[in-house]
Homo-oligomer: A and B are copies of this chain.
């Protein structure tokens, strides 16, 4: 792993994955899993969500998990916060980066956070003020969910997506990414929308968060890469989805995504064998939960040596 990474793989499994399954992973397994991910070379992990434990008991230990993750030098410790209250707790815990869910689809926004898009942008302003006053070094990003289509409302207008991204930046957000929450994106759309996003908000254009619902996860990541995206969300073993978007399933599998980039000669900074080994604590902590991934199943190709 001597080459300088050209892409950042942001592991979302400990948040997006774990909050989508019914079982709660014991804290000790979460910590082992995060350690294994760091050992494999992951440099950014979304370790949890600051939401009330009665809503998401899987995240009740988020402060402990953050605390532990912060011991890893060089790791960006990220957490999801749905609102100002969550942001307060996350900033107090010492995270490096907070991410807020803003839906491009009004129907999904109401279902997911029980607020309109406009109300969420107001919330962003409040969170930004809080951050400015209490933790100015912390980064703040938004993933625009249902940016490529919504299982509730159907088509999502591309102009709406871009307008909302601009509103997020005006509210103080550092980076705005686009999420295919519902697995409806296609490569032509991904290229078009990320190019528009970059044209509008420049370097504040953020991560591609793709799903593999209809098998297009990696093709859509490739399309995003072509459109100069360099940060990609993925989930080890493909764990996760969105419980509020019916039919949505299947985050892009980190193992397969890393295989694609490394095979292309695009360094990720991640050791694929160690990444596959990081499935062990995940499976130990969630016995019986299905994990996915074609590369772990097929094994690495003969003579695999991307560096």
Contacts and interface: CB of A to CB of B under 8 A. Distances in A.
The size class of the interface chain A forms with chain B is 35 or more
Interface string A254-271: 001001100111100000
A83 interface: no
Interface in A283-307: 293-295, 298-299, 301-303
A256 B218 contact: no
A212 interface: yes
Interface stretch (A14-22, A125-133, A180-188, A201-209): A180-188
Assembly of this chain: how many copies? 2
Contact of A189 (B247, B264, B266, B294): B264
Interface of A: 149-152, 154-155, 182-184, 186-189, 212-216, 218-219, 221-223, 247, 249-250, 253, 256, 259-260, 263-266, 293-295, 298-299, 301-303
20 contacts: A155-B303, A184-B263, A184-B301, A187-B222, A187-B264, A188-B263, A188-B264, A188-B266, A213-B298, A214-B256, A214-B259, A215-B260, A215-B293, A215-B294, A216-B259, A219-B219, A219-B222, A219-B260, A247-B298, A250-B294
